[in-house]
Amino acid sequence: MPFTSERLKHFTESVIREMTRVSERYGAINLSQGFPDFDPPAELIEAARKALSDGYHQYAVTWGSPRFRRALARKQSSWMGLDLDPDAHIVVTCGSTEAMMVALMTVCNPGERVIVFSPFYENYGADTILSGAEPIYVPLHPPEFQFHPDELRNAFKQGVKALVLCNPANPSGKVFTREELQYIADLAQEFDAFVITDEVYEHIVYAPHRHTYMAALPGMFERTLSCSSLSKTYSITGWRLGYIIAASEVIAEARKVHDFLTVGAAAPLQEAAVTALGFPLSYYEQLQAGYTRRRDLFLGYLDAAGLPYTVPQGAYYVMVDCSRFQVTDDRAFCRWLAKEIGVAAVPGSSFFHEPIHHFIRFHFAKQEKTLMESGERLLRLKAGPDIPVDLPKNRED
Ligand SMILES: Cc1ncc(COP(=O)(O)O)c(C=O)c1O
């Protein structure tokens, strides 16, 4: 049999998606893979039904249906404080997942270096390898997940083509301050690098923190590829609608990559999502309020269970420090947690480049009753239940 690609030897299957399978196997509450267990707004579901009966069944324009791009340009111009042209500044993709891959393939030649903050959303590791780029990891030091300015400058000095910025950040829950973003922007300008943002959680930010768009900082629009999606903002992770916003010269190139990767995002769902993009400000306020309630509810249970964590400033994840359990194999610990406690989490080591094994990540994009049930289960950890020394080692435990 011929050999498969060498590229694929450098990363494994997604640990996050693996934990969803583990969760299903044990009937645990799945707080691993980040997607809601509640429906999107009813108007949106109705709009999808209508789009299907109105005949939107064939390919849309490759880089996004004109109505979708117009609605997106209107909404993002207002949130980002930019004057976006739907015909020049946007390519619509299959989620931010495709957007990030397209962005890296658009800016990087094989072997060029890309800065990735660690801990990082696990796709970025695979994205850099698949695009031929070479990642340079810069630590976000726990528990505050701050970068050290000198470490970042030193990374830029190695000659980089781009920096990947997840803001608000998964898994750390960090929201970068304007000052931090300005520091990154100054380095990108000094070293003539692109910034590729992943802003899927742009509308899930907890007061008093505020989201600042990198592309809106002075001089940064020309060198920023702003990737985001509708997945999290409208609770439609399965619709696979995302986009890149960038300067017209960059978008012209990105459209080529996107065209040959996927041809386009689902036509009827683009049509339906025009409804979401027209939602009033109150929708986003309610979204924030809902997630703030869920976050506070879940953190209350972590407090009660005696589990230390870093308070998330944005997104819907919390990193829990499990040092107390003296666990050295966080993957095995997470399988044990799913099986014996009935709550699935993601082992923190799948997000860190450094050998850090004492964090696990929960997400709280769940109905309050689901969070209460999982919280009650986690309370069993307060007494410090006997955690077997021989935690299950393989995937088929
Ligand atoms: C940081 C981040 N980027 C991208 C995605 C995937 O987004 P999409 O559904 O738009 O592909 C996720 C999903 O969890 C995420 O956490």
- What does the pLDDT read at residue 11? 80
Strand partners, 137: 116
- What does the pLDDT read at residue 54? 97
Q: Which atom of ligand 1 is nearest to the CA of 237?
A: 9
Which of 32, 117, 170 has most ligand 1 atoms within 8 Å of its beta carbon, as the pocket-test mutant? 170
Q: How confident is the model at residue 3 (pLDDT cuts 50, 70, 90)?
A: confident
How confident is the model over 93-147, as pLDDT tens digits? 999 999 999 999 999 999 999 999 999 998 999 999 999 999 999 999 999 999 9
CA dist., res. 55 & res. 25, Å (int): 40
Task: Give residues with Cβ within 8 angstroms of 366, minimum separation 6.
Answer: 29, 31, 36, 37, 38, 294, 374
| CA 95 to ligand 1 center in whole angstroms | 7
- What does the pLDDT read at residue 333? 93
From residue 301, give the alpha-carbon distance in Å to each of 91, 146, 189, 296, 367: 42, 26, 44, 9, 15
| CA 123 to ligand 1 center in whole angstroms | 9
What average pLDDT does the chain have? 94
| CA 96 to ligand 1 center in whole angstroms | 6
Which of 14, 32, 97 has most ligand 1 atoms within 8 Å of its beta carbon, as the pocket-test mutant? 97
How confident is the model over 334-383, as pLDDT tens digits? 999 999 999 999 999 999 999 999 999 999 999 999 999 999 999 999 87
**pTM recorded for the entire structure:** 0.95
Which of 200, 234, 258, 361 has most ligand 1 atoms within 8 Å of its beta carbon, as the pocket-test mutant? 200
Nearest Cα to 21, choosing from 33, 9, 8, 11?
33
| CA 39 to ligand 1 center in whole angstroms | 18
User: Residues enclosing ligand 1, CB less than 6 A?
Assistant: 34, 95-97, 121, 166, 170, 198, 200, 229, 231, 237, 242
CA dist., res. 308 & res. 231, Å (int): 29
CA dist., res. 97 & res. 111, Å (int): 21
How confident is the model over 53-70, as pLDDT tens digits? 999 999 999 999 999 999
